Amino acid sequence: MKQCIKYRIYPTPKQETTLCDLGFYATKLYNTDNYKRRKAWKETGEIPSWYEQKKLLRKNHWYQLLPSQTAQRVCKELQEAYNSWYRLRKTDDKAHPPGFRPKEKLSPLIFYQQFKLDGDTIRFSMSRKYRKETGIKKLQFKLTLWREIEGIAKMATILCRDGKWMVHVVYEVEEPPYTSDDGIMGVDLGIVNLATTVDTNGNSTIYSGGQALAVQHYFNKEIARVQRATMEQHGKKTSKAIGRMHRKKKQQVNQILHTTSKSVVEEAKKNKVGTIVIGDIKNIRKGKHWNKKSGQKLHSWSFNKLTKQITHKARLSGIRVEKVSEQYTSQTCSVCGTKRKSNRKHRGLYVCKNCNTTLNADQNGARNILKKYLQDNNLSKSIGAVAVPSIWRSTNVCPT
């Protein structure tokens, strides 16, 4: 399995110029490739393959200035974006093809075999054409906050965010064996509550999403305010300040997701859980009509990211992760099985009119996810009585 470690680097002025040049070349290559793909799509109605585009661009000036595998990765990234758009068109006829990158944007530089780690030092090789034009054969940096890991370095990405240069190194690490713990945990993902867990040992926890919603609400208001001012003064809706706020909002929400996913896995380990079952909410955004407030919460939320983070951290701890459909889990009584939409009351309360069961609605959903998994796999385990859920809140991120 793969694990990514992030390092900070401090390039010299000359090295920074080289990195800016390479990032600029990658952006030019991306836009050149995008132009040719759009042209081919209009003329033939088909997306050229990555191999065809690579062959077509091999003699391109921007392609040759970049290390070969870095240039190939730029084309591959655009190919993946077009494949995603092509699939999306089948369910959303309003989907737009991948856009062009701003000219001033420095694209990430991805290296595969053209880099080498030596202790806390990393070296990157330049392309033949770039060596010939500049005389620079390689770039070498010291990695700060060095963290040694038992694994093989497979990929390194150089990127600049708000003037800070970072290197993300992806390692291939050995996957730990699965734990022998036989507990099973159901996880219901949500908006107001990021996650609600129930396990076969009767434990339950609600992971509040209040802090994440506060961060989103704060930045959405601030971005809208700055956009209005920018529009009045300069006649445009975007600026560097707006870009920084978008990135800051993303970073803070990501931090909350990381701490939440870590806590879910730590809870599983503490309660001897060997399998985590997550509700599959694929296409939850499709075919639904939301009011403005709920729509803002839902459409800006990354359920998939939280699922991936829980999955990754669980695998590092030797815990299996499975998915089951969330269909009707919020409407069905987890005690008697009665399905009635009106049972879900305000403020996350679920009251069954058939058996008078009263539960937190998200806790009821997590119980149903767990029951579905047990039934689908013919497991004789029983959920039994579930304790009053404990509440977990993220307190390490402020919305300002």
Handedness of CA 11, 14, 20, 25 (dihedral sign): negative
Whether 7 and 148 map to the same domain: the answer is yes
Identify whether residues 168 and 199 lie together within a single domain.
Answer: no
**How many Cα atoms within 13 Å fall on the side-chain side of residue 54?**
14
Q: Residue 391 corresponds to which tokens in the numbers above?
A: 């509440």
pLDDT at 169 over 60: yes
> Do residues 261 and 386 both lie within one domain?
yes
130/203 same-domain check: no
In angstroms, rounded to a whole number, what is the distance separating the alpha carbons of residues 141 and 158?
11
| Structural domain includes residue 238 | no
Q: Are 43 and 147 members of one domain?
A: yes
* 95 shares its domain with 198: no
Q: Where are the alpha helices (DSSP H) in 271-360?
A: 292-299, 303-316
Residue 290 maps to a domain: yes
* Domain shared by 38 and 129, yes or no: yes
> Which three-class secondary structure state does DSSP give residue 32?
helix
Q: Is residue 269 part of a domain?
A: yes
In a shared domain, residues 42 and 120: yes
The enclosing H or E element of 152 equals strand 152-161
Q: pLDDT tens-digit profile of 2-57?
A: 888 889 999 999 999 999 999 999 999 999 999 999 998 889 888 888 888 888 89
Q: CB within 8 A of 16, min separation 6: which ones?
A: 165
Among 326-335, 345-354, 372-381, the least confident range: 345-354
Q: 182 CB contacts (<8 Å, ≥6 apart)?
A: 272, 274
> Tell me, what's the pLDDT at 94?
84
Domain contains 226: no
Do 18 and 165 share a domain, yes or no? yes
The answer to the question of residue 32 being in a domain is yes
User: Among 40-49, 155-164, 215-224, 305-314, whose mean pLDDT is lowest?
Assistant: 40-49
Domain range for 51 is 2-172
Assess whether 201 and 53 both reside in one domain. no
Instruction: Give the span between the Cα atoms of 246 and 396, in whole angstroms.
Output: 19
Shared domain for 139 and 266, answered yes or no, is no
Residue 108 in any domain: the answer is yes
Sort 79 into a burial class: Cβ within 10 Å, 0-12 / 13-18 / 19+: buried
Domain boundary among 127, 146, 172: 172
Q: pLDDT at residue 205 above 90?
A: yes
The answer to whether residue 236 sits within a structural domain is no
What pLDDT does residue 385 have? 66
Q: What is the pLDDT of residues 110-146, one digit of tens each?
A: 999 899 988 889 999 999 999 999 999 999 999 886 6
Give ∠ CA 182-183-188 in degrees, rounded to 5.
140
What is the C-alpha separation between 187 and 285, in angstroms, rounded? 19
Mean pLDDT of 78-96: 88
Report the number of distinct structural domains present in the chain: 2
pLDDT value at residue 2: 86
Q: Is residue 222 part of a domain?
A: no
* Whole-number pLDDT of residue 275: 95
Would you place residue 399 in the very low, low, confident or very high pLDDT band (cuts 50, 70, 90)? very low
% of the chain residues with pLDDT over 90: 46
The whole-number pLDDT of residue 46 equals 85
Q: Are residues 196 and 330 in the same domain?
A: yes
Confidence at residue 347, expressed as pLDDT on a 0 to 100 scale: 64
For residue 104, the model assigns a pLDDT of 86
What pLDDT score does 400 carry? 45
What tens digit of pLDDT does each residue of 359-370 get? 888 888 899 999
214-273 pLDDT, tens digit per residue, is: 898 899 999 999 998 888 888 877 788 888 898 899 889 999 999 999 999 999 999 999
Residue in 129, 125, 149 with CA at minimum distance from that of residue 137: 125
The CATH number assigned to the domain holding 192 equals: 3.30.420.140
Residue 322 has pLDDT above 60, yes or no: yes
- The tens digit of pLDDT for each residue in 328-339 reads 888 888 888 888
The pLDDT of residue 298: 47
Q: Over the chain, what is the mean pLDDT?
A: 86
Cα gap 333→232, rounded to integer Å? 53
